[in-house]
Amino acid sequence: MKKIIIVGGVAGGASAAARLRRLDETDEIIIFEKGEYISFANCGLPYYIGGEIKEKSALTLQTPESFNARFNVDVRVQNEVISIDRQAKTVEVKNIKTGEIYAESYDKLILSPGAAPLMPKLPGIDSKCVFTLRNIPDTYKIKEYIENNHPKSVVIVGGGYIGVEMAENLQNAGLLVTIIEMTDQVIAPLDYDMACDIHRHIRQKGVNLLLSNGVQKIEEDAAGLKVIVSQGDNSQGDVRADMLIMSIGVRPESSIAKDAGLAVNERGGIIVDNYMRTSDENIYAVGDAIEITDFVTEQKAMIPLAGPANKQGRIAADNICGIDSQYTGTQGSAILKVFDMTVATTGMNEKTAKKLGLDYDKSFTYSASHASYYPGAVNMCIKTLFEKKTGKILGAQITGFDGADKRCDVFATAIRAGMTAYDLTKLELCYAPPYSSAKDPVNMAGFVIENLLTGKVKNFHWHDVNELPRDGSVVLLDTRTEEEYENGTIGGFINIPLDDLRSRINEIDKTKKVYVTCQIGLRGYIAARILSQNGFDAYNLSGGYRLYNSIFGKNSGSQPANINPETQLAETNDSEDKKKL
């Protein structure tokens, strides 16, 4: 019989406790949780504020009583572990209700303290109109403020997952919403080129999105809050609002680990091995407070996600009970609902690949969510990163609507299995017209990369366009229809529609390189194949005009100030995406 103490509930701690009991009926298990709730749906909190989730009870997954009845675990809420005596193998606990401080011994200790919202030291940050969202009390506080004070507007500081979810849900609650983000994009795991569609969608939904802006201070007067910003792409001056949500990230709540002399990294993340053991063999740590190994890059990182926390809790429990179980790393699979749009990502992004100096390439593909002849099909954009030498899939990002989630799950599985683009072409995925196409979007991404790897086509990218000469030394060719071309094209590109290319191929100088674009890349690929087989040196614009216009177009949702001027064209027209091939 062992005595096991767990510090913190929710994902990691509660999962560890449940697994421990399933493995050994005789162990004494105690969970200390400084909050009021042992297990709650923290990912669902914004949707309760917005009214999508109606009942408070839906947020509470387990109560202390239900958890004890099911697992025979002593759950002590509103009891905070304030120190660890590693030599004596005891923890000091403060009962928050009574103020009593007492000690409890352990044989094994699991730390699952989670992470707390970052709160910068800004003037005005302590206003009663300023909120954060981490737990159920925070949720009730925001909801009650809206119901009692009837605010008309809100500023959300931070364009990460929680910030964007809050924007949608606060707008659903009837507020005018402004997002202020310090960097030039929302959703940091995305690359900028994929975030541009999200910027446009957020703005089209009526949210005021201010990028490249930092909050300097918050002033409160009789009219509400005045948020002083750094004036990045904001031509409106300072922002007025009735309330403000801080959502700029989190920090690990690891102070008791540091005070106990456990090894932590420079960000305060608790260092653990593959067995979830800390630098003390009797103490384990899981969840948002720990440093993990990135599965793809093999670099140390901090990735606070619920799925990994649950797995880590299970692995810690296994090892405490003598089962050899190892955590193999976090690959950062995540998904986000942005109003009616979906953003999904897994594995490495291009920013990381560049930073690590990898020999990689990328492809952009647009595929319908299901058979195009079946009503309701909409395009999703897939960015796939892969090793040039082997074709191994390094990462994928998807923006779209229906079906984006299941495609990202396939990519996540492929990355975990070490699959290549060649493997993607062989996947036999479920098909019926309402759900997919005979060539699934994941297959299509594999086909496109296979063509690159085998030399059947050569690509160039949106950030290469500005460097192409406009002096006639190369041919810039737009293969869309005349109507599409007239609605907007890239400066310097001439128009020969794909279906006319063979009959007009003699108009193109064979001694010059030919750079081809179309709407999304498919017609450009066909044109490049025609040209290359007729002796031309041809290159296809990956993602086509659709991707280019999402980044540079006047209605793209991005601002030229957010683009490196060295990669920006001076001449840009915009057109609606007609989802043509």
For the record, the structure tokens of 547 come out as 């991707």
C-alpha dihedral sign at 293, 296, 302, 304: negative
C-alpha dihedral sign at 490, 492, 498, 500: positive
Asked if 552 and 567 count as a contact pair (C-beta separation under 8 A), the reply is no
Q: Provide DSSP, 448-489.
A: HHHHHHTTS--EE-GGGGGGS--SSSSEEEE-S-HHHHHH--
Distance CA 355, CA 345 (A): 18
Asked if 438 and 431 count as a contact pair (C-beta separation under 8 A), the reply is yes
Q: Provide DSSP, 367-381.
A: EESS-TTSTT--EEE
Question: How far is C-alpha 396 from the geometric centre of its chain's CA atoms?
Answer: 11
65 CB contacts (<8 Å, ≥6 apart)? none
Q: Are strands 459-460 and 475-478 parallel, antiparallel or unpaired?
A: unpaired
Asked if 358 and 387 count as a contact pair (C-beta separation under 8 A), the reply is yes
Distance CA 385, CA 219 (A): 45
Residue 137 parent element (H or E): helix 136-149
Asked if 107 and 27 count as a contact pair (C-beta separation under 8 A), the reply is no
Q: What does DSSP assign to residue 136?
A: H
Q: Provide DSSP, 279-320.
A: SSTTEEE-GGGEEEEBTTT--EE----HHHHHHHHHHHHHHH
Q: How far is CA 152 from CA 53, 177, 224, 543, 554, in A?
A: 21, 9, 10, 40, 30
The residues with which 90 forms a beta bridge, in sequence order, are 85, 105
Distance CA 333, CA 330 (A): 8
Q: Are strands 153-157 and 283-285 parallel, antiparallel or unpaired?
A: unpaired
Asked if 285 and 278 count as a contact pair (C-beta separation under 8 A), the reply is yes
Distance CA 71, CA 551 (A): 53
Which residues carry out catalysis? 43
Closest residue by Cα to residue 286 from 312, 320, 268, 265: 312
Distance CA 261, CA 361 (A): 44
Distance CA 465, CA 568 (A): 8
Query: How buried is 346 (Cβ within 10 angstroms: 0-12 exposed, 13-18 middle, 19+ buried)?
Result: buried
Helix, coil or strand: residue 178: strand
For the record, the structure tokens of 578 come out as 């007609």
Q: What does DSSP assign to residue 562?
A: G
Q: Are strands 379-387 and 393-400 parallel, antiparallel or unpaired?
A: antiparallel
